[in-house]
Amino acid sequence: MLTLNSDTLQYVFNILAITDKRSFIRTCHNMHSLSAQMPNIELSFQKMINTTKFTGKNKFYAFYNPLYKYTIELLFDDREIPDKYIVIENNVLQLTNISKEIAKQGNLDLIQKIFKSYSYDINYSDIMYAAVKYDHYHIIEWMIENDYRYEYAIDYAAKKGNLKMIKWLLGCGFEIQSYSAEYATDIDTLKFLIEKGSRAGGYYAACRGDLGIIKYLYDINMVSLDNVYLGAVQFGHLDVIKFVWEKGCNHSDVVGGHIHILQWLYDNDLISVDVSVSRKVASSGNLESLQYLHSKNFPLLDDSVFLAAIASTNIEMISWLHDLECPIVHKRGQFFDSYLPTDVAIANNSDNLLQILKLLFEWGSEFDDYNCGQVAKTGNLEGLKYLYSCGCKLDETIIKIAAKNGHLHIIVWAREQGCEWDASACNAIIKHNHIDVLKWLRGINRDTCGLVSNETEICPWNKKSFRRILDRDRPNLDIAVYEFDK
């Protein structure tokens, strides 16, 4: 390989998975030029992980932790996870989507090791879901033998249209639920489940646009057209809507964001000219549809419509409404009786959060301590830095919230700004098993956590209180309290 020219080496390097790129660099000599590319490759990979929601619906920020980073890379590339990674400190292996990914790969050996190490934290329904979805009978058999049953397993099989799996699960003692048939995606599975006494409302079939199943359910007088209409409008299936309409069912308060659906509903006088319609369309993020309503004189200039647009995270829509002088509630009421645009934007934690916050601030919105706590909870450091630059204060509550949610990078930055901390931070960690954060707070392994800091103090704690919370909330967590007593 050393005789290959640099262009060939670069080509080979480019086509490798990220795990193999690391191995390639370790194996070859004089690979400095390739090593220098890894930081950008890592950033691109990590962005993709969050975009595809590989680890879950919430953004993952802790790539700075080598244990977390390499675990995710190995799992994504379907590589073996070393035993040294299967430790209580490795929270990645407890994430819902990661559990599903491991089961998807059919890796029973790893599942058994994880259950042994994390039995208190694993949601075995996630494992069962993926095992059923991907036909891993050996995993399901092991879960049954070890009493890790899940009552909705047949629903999972119905979603896939796997009648063979359903019959096998019945033979293993699983039961058909009253509405398992609702999830059926083919006629044979649907008929079988109905014959066994299950029912279907047609909503999920309408969401998929499966007119064949809807007609079958209608013919046997089982389907509620109300549910069908709702699902079809929400997901843009006009043929289903027309079928339901022909059968005499329509609701003027049911709308979605699809322009062709809105046009048809409006042309057939099946939609009320009401602000609630504008609000629902705004929440979909479809600016073209909202502009269509505006052209038909639907009321748009309402603070609830602007709030819905914020929830959609569509910057263009948000700016368009502002240009129309749509009302915006900028300040919090005395009794905290409603959410502000800033609250909704932070809760969504979209990729364009910083841009939305800057616009809101420019237009007159105010940020407060509640917003700081919200951002600390999500782990969005850039958002927190911006709020801080706008005059928001940092206090021990920020440290506690960040600790509870495992956001060590938030804690490190907040401490660098002089933020105080107290014993509540250590107590908040335990229920959610962020042992790596606890170690850092107590001055342990700060040089190996993946974050650089100049912290010299140790976060205070109350050992008795900590022990009491540990015994109450995490009785199976095997940690030695004395290790943290410095």
Residue for token pair 């799996």: 165
In angstroms, the CA 259 to CA 246 distance is: 21
Q: What is the pLDDT of residue 334?
A: 62
Q: What is the pLDDT of residue 120?
A: 61
DSSP string, 175-191: ---TTGGGG--SHHHHH
pLDDT for 154 beyond 80: yes
Average pLDDT over residues 43-61: 96
pLDDT for 365 beyond 70: yes
Is 185:191 a contact under the CB 8 Å cutoff?
Answer: no
pLDDT tens digits, 251-303: 766 788 999 999 999 998 888 899 999 999 999 999 999 999 999 999 999 99
Please give the mean pLDDT across all residues of the chain.
90
Identify the structural domains of the chain with CATH numbers, from first to last.
268-366 (1.25.40.20), 387-486 (no CATH)
Q: What is the pLDDT of residue 1?
A: 45
In angstroms, the CA 201 to CA 96 distance is: 28
In angstroms, the CA 403 to CA 362 distance is: 31
Q: What is the pLDDT of residue 480?
A: 55
Three-state DSSP at 363 gives helix
In angstroms, the CA 233 to CA 149 distance is: 36
pLDDT tens digits, 325-343: 999 999 887 656 678 999 9
Q: Beta-carbon neighbour count of residue 75 at 10 Å?
A: 23
Q: Which is more confidently placed, 412 or 482? A: 412
pLDDT for 396 beyond 80: yes
pLDDT tens digits, 108-129: 999 999 988 876 667 789 999 9
pLDDT for 477 beyond 70: no
**Long-range contact set of residues 332-341: C-beta below 8 Å, sequence gap at least 24:** 332/366, 332/368, 332/370, 336/370, 339/307, 340/365, 341/306, 341/307, 341/310, 341/365
Torsion angle in degrees (nearest 10) through CA of 406, 408, 409, 414: 110
Q: Which is more confidently placed, 55 or 463? A: 55
pLDDT tens digits, 426-448: 888 877 778 889 999 999 889 98
As a whole-number percent, the residues of the chain with pLDDT over 90 amount to 70
As a whole-number percent, the residues of the chain with pLDDT over 70 amount to 92
Is 373:395 a contact under the CB 8 Å cutoff?
Answer: no
Distant-in-sequence, close-in-space partners of 67: CB < 8 Å, separation ≥ 6: 85, 87, 89, 90, 92, 436
Q: Which is more confidently placed, 478 or 121? A: 121
pLDDT tens digits, 64-111: 999 999 999 999 999 999 999 998 889 899 898 999 999 999 999 999
Using alpha carbons only, how large is the chain's radius of gyration in Å? 27
Torsion angle in degrees (nearest 10) through CA of 272, 273, 274, 275: 130
In angstroms, the CA 167 to CA 128 distance is: 16
Half-sphere exposure of 108 (CA within 13 A, CB side): 11
Distant-in-sequence, close-in-space partners of 107: CB < 8 Å, separation ≥ 6: none
Alpha-carbon dihedral sign for residues 349, 350, 352, 356: negative
Of 207, 211, 329, the closest CA to residue 256 belongs to 207
Q: What is the pLDDT of residue 475?
A: 59
Is 406:91 a contact under the CB 8 Å cutoff?
Answer: yes
In angstroms, the CA 358 to CA 7 distance is: 44
In angstroms, the CA 70 to CA 81 distance is: 9
Distant-in-sequence, close-in-space partners of 56: CB < 8 Å, separation ≥ 6: 95, 96, 97, 98
Q: What is the pTM of this model?
A: 0.89
